[in-house]
Amino acid sequence: MKAIAPGKLILSGEHSVVYDRPAVAMAIDRSVVATIEDADDDQVSFDLPDIQEHDSFTMLALQDFKRRAQTNYRLFLDGKLGIRDVLYKPVDLFKFGFITLLDGLHRSLDSGIVIQLKSNLPVGSGLGSSAAAVLSELRAVGHYLRVDFKPEWAYEFSLESEKLQHGHPSGVDSYISLYGGCAAFEQGKARSVPLPRMKMYLVETGSPETTTGECVVNVKQRFENDKIWSDFESVTREVESAVRENNDALMRSLLRENHRLLCRIGVVPQKVQQFVADVEAAGGAAKICGAGSTKGERGGVVLVLADFMPSALAEKYGYTVSPVRGDPLGTRIV
Ligand SMILES: Nc1ncnc2c1ncn2[C@@H]1O[C@H](COP(=O)(O)OP(=O)(O)OP(=O)(O)O)[C@@H](O)[C@H]1O
Ligand SMILES: C[C@@](O)(CCO)CC(=O)[O-]
């Protein structure tokens, strides 16, 4: 039994979407696949080959873990715990997703299962790997339990897990991964936008030193009440029009403006800024997608709009580059 959930890239509006401004984002052709198999024991096992982790738990241990994770999240909201201390290990996210789903559906398991999650999304790099991983897990477990479960429930359950990972998620990652396609997302609701037809490339600058959760908290401390979010909003609204009109030139100029705003909130490392400057000098446009980083020199994935694949430029910086396309389908059973 297998479910697949795509990652996402934000064309405009990361961070500002946390303050109820719009974001335009699209699902992409990189994804997480969740596979469920029956186990010989009565435990719930998580097999995470991408990070070489394998752990097994009894249902009782999972219930106990859920209570502790919820307590940690409350401590985070009260300012008594950092967001990185709410969940300790990657597997915690999937333990929480699983037990929240089971409790939410008022179901139990008759025997053990093995949940495997395998991804071709770079982890923690701005492409929504955590939301896609949890959604693939939820969809696969729901199918295994033969529950005809509504997309709204998957959205709510995945947000419960994203809160523990991100602190204050806007919901855009989960929404796009769940429904696929492209959308303008605002305050938990979305308008469908056609998938962009322009040439796009993803450049991997390395996994950021700060997690998305930490980065959002850092930005919030410095800019929560800043006027800059209105500037982000204007750019994002124009990006929506540019995508609808398939206006490549407008899109590039908006991407450049967006990049400058992201630099102002301090989430684009110096080395990445230099790379973007080189892309611009060659006639393209580029910006980080996702949270970026408030520390170190790696910024996660950078989106490039250009007539050419920027392989030589990327190589100069030790980065890798590949073309990217949209995913119209979202989370599904395969
Ligand atoms: N394939 C995977 N295997 C195991 N854990 C994963 C996998 N993909 C994602 N994760 C979990 O998700 C976390 C990364 O989530 P995070 O929200 O920081 O980044 P992201 O979702 O990739 O980027 P963003 O939210 O900025 O778009 C990892 O630390 C890990 O806990
Ligand atoms: C940085 C952010 O805007 C995007 C993460 O993919 C956080 C969020 O929307 O929850």
- The model's pLDDT over 7-48, given as tens digits with 9 standing for 90+, comes to 999 999 999 999 999 999 999 999 999 999 999 999 999 999
23 and 86 share one domain: yes
66 and 130 share one domain: yes
Output the residue whose Cα is nearest ligand 1's atom 14: 124
Q: Tell me, in angstroms, the distance from the centre of ligand 1 to residue 122's CA.
A: 8
CATH number of the domain to which 10 belongs: 3.30.230.10
At 55 the pLDDT is 97
At 142 the pLDDT is 95
45 and 177 share one domain: yes
Q: Which ligand number lies closest to the CA of residue 23?
A: 2
204 and 315 share one domain: yes
Q: Tell me, in angstroms, the distance from the centre of ligand 2 to residue 108's CA.
A: 33
What SS3 state is found at 309?
coil
CB neighbour list of residue 28: distance below 8 Å, 6 or more residues apart: 6, 7, 8, 9, 127, 202, 324, 325, 326, 327
Ligand 1, from 123, 138, 214: best to mutate by most atoms within 8 Å of Cβ?
Answer: 123
Report the range of poorest mean pLDDT among 7-11, 28-32, 179-183, 212-216: 212-216
DSSP structure class, residue 326: B
| Ligand 2 within 6 A of CB of 301 | no
| Ligand 2 within 6 A of CB of 291 | yes
CATH number of the domain to which 253 belongs: 3.30.70.890
At 149 the pLDDT is 80
Q: pLDDT for 51-87, tens place per residue?
A: 999 999 999 999 999 999 999 999 999 999 999 999 9
At 85 the pLDDT is 94
Rounded to an integer, the average pLDDT of 129-155 is 94
234 and 169 share one domain: no
Domain carrying residue 218: 196-323
Q: Tell me, in angstroms, the distance from the centre of ligand 1 to residue 234's CA.
A: 29
In Å, how far are 143, 322, 332 from 1, measured between CA atoms?
8, 30, 11
172 and 34 share one domain: yes
At 272 the pLDDT is 98
This complex has an ipTM of 0.97
Domain count, the chain: 2
Find tokens 């395998």 and name the residue: 118
